[in-house]
Chain A
Amino acid sequence: MAQTLTLLGIESSCDDTAAAVVRLAEGRGTVLASVVAGQTDLHAAFGGVVPELAARAHTEKLDLCVEQALAQAGLGLTDLDGVAVTAGPGLIGGVMAGVMCAKGLAAGAGLPLVGVNHLAGHALTPRLTDGLEFPYLMLLVSGGHCQFLLVRGAEAFTRLGGTIDDAPGEAFDKTAKLLALPQPGGPAVETEAALGDPRRFAFPRPLLDRPGCDMSFSGLKTALLRARDGVMADGALRRQDRADLCAGFQAAVSAVLAEKSRRALADYLALAPADPVFAVAGGVAANRAIRAALEDVAARAGARFVAPPLALCTDNAAMIAWAGIERFRLGHRDGMSLSARPRWPLDETAAPMLGAGKKGAKA
């Protein structure tokens, strides 16, 4: 008999407080409810997410989001089979609030608790939305992360490469800030880029000259700042110059992601998968120019391109509930001593790329 499982998911690792209810029935996952409470306004004045402000907001929103998600699903906690929560990686204050709220829910309702890696949530989403089979290639490209993952199983990930510094989404946000565009930067920069000339400014394509799938985006931000200062007069920037800067910046990010995707696809196709799939997730995958470039690379390599709907591509809790279901089916349960982890690489065997200090790899 096919197993039916219904899990609550909780996510609070960055600047979105989210709760969702997902059900697995007859081998397919269905999102019964998904609530996301963003904090964009809270951080707008600071040009980036302020961890302490985020943690404060999560603490007072989590239970409200859970209530809302349960109401939307028309279910009570007693109708659930477990509680899944993001236990890292991410901003620790928020992750900790989520883990503690989840413990309170699980303890009081007598439900099993499943700690989920936020990145696994993103990486397993195409199985919820498109029923993908393993193995598939995943590009996770968001405000906080950028990596290529070979997804071999619900708990088996191989990192083929990733950013060694900033994530592209972060670069988009910083670009927007430098160019007096609103946050989040992605949509604003994309809109401006459509009006600009991508060839006017020659921005660097970092690490393209090196083999492998690692990327770097922090130099791009510096190059953009220099180019901006070069065309500014008395603190004023012409609208067309801004559009050209945006177009050049977006073209550089797009070119790097496309070329590294081509290499990652080659590595993946060497495994001779029956139905080759290149899946993307993360807010940056919503950028139309970047998505078109990635679709083109996939088509040339003969792989199907899969991008979950935007609401399940950016941070959300349905992906956490789903990843929780996948772990739960493998027999995974966490106890009440579950830790919130600021650093938690999906592929624990890969050499650290980020934050490779004494505390270990960040993601």
Chain B
Amino acid sequence: MRPEPLILAFDTSAAHCAAALLSGDRVLETRAEDMAKGQAERLFPMLEEMLARHGAGWRDLAAIGVGIGPGNFTGVRISVAAARGLALSLGVPALGVSRLEALAHGLPRPVVAAEDARRGEVYCQGFGPDTAPALAALDAAPAARAFVGSAAEALAARHGGAALAPAMPLAEAIARIAAARRSTPGPRPAPLYLRAADAAPPADPAPVIVP
């Protein structure tokens, strides 16, 4: 029996495959491999390699932390589906952690986490005081003195604040947040999209049916 609970966290919400293994408070390993595609193929071999390097197996895990975005829709689904399958087979909780919360983890407050959402928009969330995560136009993002995330520099330049680097690697932050919430896991992890699916009703109206 391991003295400390073992937490495995992973994230594929952007062009990477990232994972961290936490034993109690101690980070055993954290790694991120850059890749634009291939996360679905790489994720499990990478996790199994990481567990093996620390003499652990799937059955040793006490909980799973998973990045739920916002970010690349397909990437987010890769990790969330994997985490839900693992939680079911291992009988341990899977905890979803937002990318924005993970970015801000361990940084002094107040801070606004902001990720580039393209199309002139950002995914953003304020911490201390906390605001709800939202998709906002670059101009409409909340003002702050400190920003973190891929859109931090753009917002800092706009508002005269500072762009901070995250306090720790993304997967480690997800693992630490998941570990802290392990006893109150809440609902199953679900992707945090913040942006609606691109789907428009058909342009040509159906005919009116008359007798």
- Report which A residues bind B (CB closer than 8 A): 45-47, 50, 52-53, 55-56, 58-60, 62-63, 66-67, 77, 92-93, 96-110, 177-180, 228, 232, 235-239, 242, 335-340
Mask for B167-211, Cβ within 8 A of A = 1, else 0? Answer: 000000000000000000000101101000111111001111111
Q: Is the CB of A236 within 8 A of B207?
A: yes
The CA-CA distance from A237 to B211 in the complex, in Å, is 8
The CA-CA distance from A350 to B78 in the complex, in Å, is 32
Query: In terms of DSSP, what is the predominant structure of the interface of chain A?
Result: helix
The CA-CA distance from A355 to B22 in the complex, in Å, is 46
Given contacts A52-B198, A53-B197, A55-B73, contact A104 B86 (CB under 8 A): yes
Interface residues on B, range: 35 or more
| Partner among B41, B58, B85, B209 whose Cβ is within 8 Å of the Cβ of A101 | B85
What 9 A-B pairs come out closest when comparing CB atoms? Answer: A104-B85, A108-B89, A336-B44, A180-B206, A104-B86, A100-B81, A52-B197, A101-B85, A237-B207
Q: Name the residue on A nearest B44 (C-beta).
A: A336
Q: Is the CB of A108 within 8 A of B88?
A: yes
Given contacts A63-B85, A104-B82, A235-B207, contact A46 B40 (CB under 8 A): no
| Partner among B41, B84, B90, B205 whose Cβ is within 8 Å of the Cβ of A63 | B84
The reply to whether the CB of B83 lies closer than 8 angstroms to some CB of chain A is yes
Q: Is the CB of A178 within 8 A of B88?
A: no
Q: Is the CB of B202 within 8 A of A46?
A: yes
Q: Is the CB of A107 within 8 A of B73?
A: no
Q: Is the CB of A178 within 8 A of B201?
A: no
Given contacts A47-B202, A237-B208, A339-B41, contact A63 B73 (CB under 8 A): no
The CA-CA distance from A161 to B116 in the complex, in Å, is 47
Question: A48 CB to closest chain B CB, in angstroms?
Answer: 8
Q: Name the residue on B nearest A47 (C-beta).
A: B202
The CA-CA distance from A266 to B34 in the complex, in Å, is 54
The CA-CA distance from A55 to B206 in the complex, in Å, is 27
The CA-CA distance from A188 to B78 in the complex, in Å, is 36
The CA-CA distance from A177 to B206 in the complex, in Å, is 7
The CA-CA distance from A60 to B189 in the complex, in Å, is 8
Q: Name the residue on B nearest A93 (C-beta).
A: B74
Number of CB contacts from chain A to chain B under 8 A: 147
The reply to whether the CB of B99 lies closer than 8 angstroms to some CB of chain A is no
Q: Is the CB of B81 within 8 A of A62?
A: yes
Given contacts A108-B88, A339-B41, contact A228 B211 (CB under 8 A): no
Q: Is the CB of A104 within 8 A of B40?
A: no
Residues of the B chain whose Cβ atoms lie less than 8 Å from the Cβ of A228:
207
Question: A81 CB to closest chain B CB, in angstroms?
Answer: 15
Residues of the B chain whose Cβ atoms lie less than 8 Å from the Cβ of A98:
81
Q: Name the residue on B nearest A44 (C-beta).
A: B201
Q: Is the CB of A100 within 8 A of B48?
A: no
Q: Is the CB of B211 within 8 A of A239?
A: yes
The CA-CA distance from A338 to B197 in the complex, in Å, is 27
Given contacts A56-B193, A104-B82, A104-B88, contact A63 B188 (CB under 8 A): yes
Q: Is the CB of B78 within 8 A of A96?
A: yes
- A55-B73, A63-B85, A77-B88 are known; give 8 further A-B pairs, CB within 8 A: A63-B88, A77-B89, A93-B74, A96-B78, A105-B86, A110-B58, A239-B211, A336-B45
